[in-house]
Structure 1
Amino acid sequence: MKKNIAILMGGHSSEHKISIKSGNVVFKYLDNAKFNVYRILITREKWLYLDEENKEFPVNRADFSINYQGEVIYFDCAFNAIHGSPGEDGLLQAYFELLNIPQTACEHYQAALTFNKRDLLSTLKPYGIKTADSYYLNLGDSIKEDAIITKVGLPCFVKANKAGSSFGISKVYKKEELNKAITKAFKEDNEILIESFLEGTEVSVGVITYKGALKVLPVTEIVTDNDFFDYEAKYEGKSQEITPARISEAQEENVKSCAKKIYSILKMTGFTRSEFIFLGDTPYLLEMNTTPGLTEESILPQQAQKAGITLSELFESAIEEALQ
């Protein structure tokens, strides 16, 4: 009997539109001969099932069911394609755990931890994971420009602590630019992470559980036309994503080992994509994404295809892992 699969898309964050693109790709590639597939759009105001004509039907949040064509439909698994809140910060994971409905992303604690860049980096430092020097600010804190520059130097990056797709991020070259960058970051989140600039090759490493085994995917090198890998570079063609990366054997071995170690330390499940910058042969962790982009152009699907895994196989494996 075919399983009913809910594809979750949308969400509350600036990544709403990107998530819808990811969800539609999952909808396109999941095998209809194996699954009954339903697109579920989640916004702050409402949760809806979208049929193939984009007609809207409400979701009963009490048991995560829909009433469609006179039938109440319950779901065997939720495929999480929501970037940002509530799909990447643990809220939906906790909801489905309470309802005992399998879902394809990591568990709620791991999602909340990895979504908070400051907490993630702090958790991993005792395990020897290298990171940039950093300075923390919360909304309402006094801004001590000299102290910030003494700690992280210039240039530096000002980032929203809990945001994706490079929303709220600025590269700062001068002390006079700090306040503007901080104001921009606070529009995305009430917590900020300010990091030292690391000059080196930037790479992205996908680690997944595939057919029951942990698998590190081919490494992608990020070469951006812009000053850094910002929203334009990620989504508007202002970068090259080269898979496999043009790095040495030592660098490849080190970054794959590091990404695998992080996945295991955090007891991760599902898809992850981690970003690193090399200083010499040593990878420095920037962040981890637990619901990475899933469009045909996104980095993780590119890596999977280089590893000989089709999008259909990638998505189906995630569901099989969740159901087990």
Structure 2
Amino acid sequence: MKKNIAIIMGGYSSEVGISLKSGNVVYKHIDTEKYNAYKVHILENKWVHVDDNEEEYPINKEDFSTEIKGQKITFDCVFNAIHGTPGENGIILAYFDLIGLKHTSAPFYQMALTFNKRDTLSVVKQYGIATAVSIYLNKGDEIDCDAIIKKVGLPCFVKPNGAGSSFGISKVYTKGELIPAIEKAYEEDTEILIESFLDGTEVSVGVIQYKGETKVLPITEIVSENDFFDYKAKYEGESQEITPARLTDSQRNRVKEVAKRVYEILNMRGFSRSEYILVNDEPHFIEMNTVPGLTEASILPQQANHAGISLTELFGNAIEMALNN
């Protein structure tokens, strides 16, 4: 008997449009011989199942069911395609755990931890993982530009703590640019971090659970046409994404070793895509994305393709891992 799968997409953040694209790709490529797939839009003003004719059916939040033409539909598993809140930060996953509904992501605590850039860095540093030098600020804190620059240097990066897709990030070259960059980051989050610039090769590496094992996918080298891997570089083609990355065997092996180690340190499950910068051949961890882009052009699907894993296999494996967990 086919399993009913709810593909949740949308969310409450600036990434809602990107999430809807990812969710629709999952819906397009899911194996319909094995699963009944349902698109579910999780939006601030409504939770609805949306059918192929764009007709909407409300989701009952008591048990996450819906009713279609008088028939109640319940779900066996949720495929999480929500970038940002409430999918990537674990909020909705805690709800699914409470009602006993399986999902394709890591447990809600791991999702909350990895969505918080500052907390993630604090954890991995304790295990000897190399990172940039960083300073943390909360909205309302006194800002001492001279002290910040003395610690992290120039140029530096100013980032919202809990935003994705490079929203709110600035590369700062001068003292005069620092305050505007901080204000921009605060538009996305009340917590920010300021990091030293790492001069090296930027790579992105997917680590997933595949057929019961932790699998490191082929590494992608990021060559941005812009100052850094910003929104336009990620989504508007203003970058080169070279898979497999142009690394030596020793560099490649070291990136894979560190990426797998970080995945295990953080007790991850399901999808992940992490960014590293190689400085003197040592990968410096930047951040982890636990609901990475899932469109045909996104990095993790590109990496899976190079590993011989189709989108249908990639998405089906995530569902089966969740169902059997």
* Same fold flag (TM > 0.5): yes
Match of 1:136, SS state, is strand
| Partner residue, 1:229 | 229
Moved over 4 A (4+): none
Secondary structure at 1:246's aligned position in 2? coil
CA distance in 1, matches of 2:286, 2:264: 17
Please name the residue that 1:321 is paired with.
Answer: 321
Task: State the alpha-carbon separation in 2 of the partners of residues 160 and 110 from structure 1.
Answer: 19
Matches within 5 A, 1:290-309: 290-309=290-309
SS at match of 2:53: coil
Alignment partners' CA distance in 1, 2:261 and 2:303: 19
Correspondence for 1:137? 137
Amino acid of the structure 2 residue aligned with 1:144: D
Q: Secondary structure at the match of 2:31?
A: coil
Q: For 1:31 and 1:303, how far apart are their aligned partners in 2?
A: 20
| Mapped partners of 1:22, 1:104: distance in 2 | 14
Deviations 1:109-161 (A, max 9, x none): 10000000000000111101110000111000111100100110000000000
1:224-262 deviations in Å (ceiling 9; x for gaps) = 000000000000000010000001111111110001001
Q: In structure 1, how many angstroms separate the alpha carbons of the residues matched to 2:225 and 2:262?
A: 29
Residue of structure 2 equivalent to 1:250: 250
1:202-281 to 2 correspondences below 5 Å? 202-281=202-281
Q: Secondary structure at the match of 2:150?
A: helix
Partner of 1:188: 188
> Taking structure 2 as the reference length, what is the TM-score of the superposition?
0.99
Cα distance per residue 1:146-182 (max 9 Å; x no partner) = 0100110000000000000000000000000001000
Corresponding residue SS for 1:278: strand
SS in structure 1 at match of 2:126: helix
- Secondary structure (helix, strand or coil) at the match of 1:303 reads helix
1:13 corresponds to: 13
1:243-289 Cα distance to aligned partner (Å, 9 max, x none)? 00001111111110001001111111100000000001100000000
Q: Matches of 1:11 and 1:48 in 2, distance apart?
A: 12
Letter in structure 1 aligned against 2:198: L
Structure 1 letter corresponding to 2:303: Q
Deviation at 1:93, TM superposition (A): 1.2
What's the CA shift for 1:44?
Answer: 1.1
Q: Distance in 1 between matches of 2:73 and 2:289?
A: 31
Specify the alignment match of 1:110 in structure 2: 110
Partner of residue 282, structure 2: 282
SS of equivalent residue, structure 2 residue 103: coil
| Aligned equivalents of 1:183, 1:263: Cα separation in 2 | 32
CA–CA separation in structure 2 for the residues paired with 1:69 and 1:265: 47
CA distance in structure 1 between the partners assigned to 2:44 and 2:201 by the alignment = 38
Q: Distance in 2 between matches of 1:69 and 1:240?
A: 47
Distance in 2 separating the partners of 1:68 and 1:214: 38
Letter in 2 for 1:27: Y
The secondary structure found in structure 2 opposite 1:277 is strand
Residue in structure 2 matched with residue 127 of structure 1 by the alignment: 127
For 1:12, the aligned partner's letter is: Y
- Are 2:171 and 1:171 aligned? yes
Paired-residue identity, %: 64
Letter in 2 for 1:258: V
- Partners of 1:224 and 1:265 in 2: CA distance: 29
Q: Report the alpha carbon displacement of residue 105 of structure 1 after superposing the two structures with TM.
A: 0.7
Q: Equivalent residue for 2:3? A: 3
- In the alignment, what sits opposite 2:91? 91
CA distance in 1: counterparts of 2:165 and 2:251, whole angstroms:
25
Q: Partner of 2:58 in structure 1?
A: 58
Work out the number of aligned pairs and report it. 324
CA displacement 1:200-220 (0-9 Å, x = unmatched)? 000001000011111000000
TM-score, normalised on structure 1? 0.99
Structure 1 stretches lacking a partner, 5+ long: none
Q: Which amino acid aligns with 2:164?
A: G
- Residue in 1 that maps onto 2:37: 37
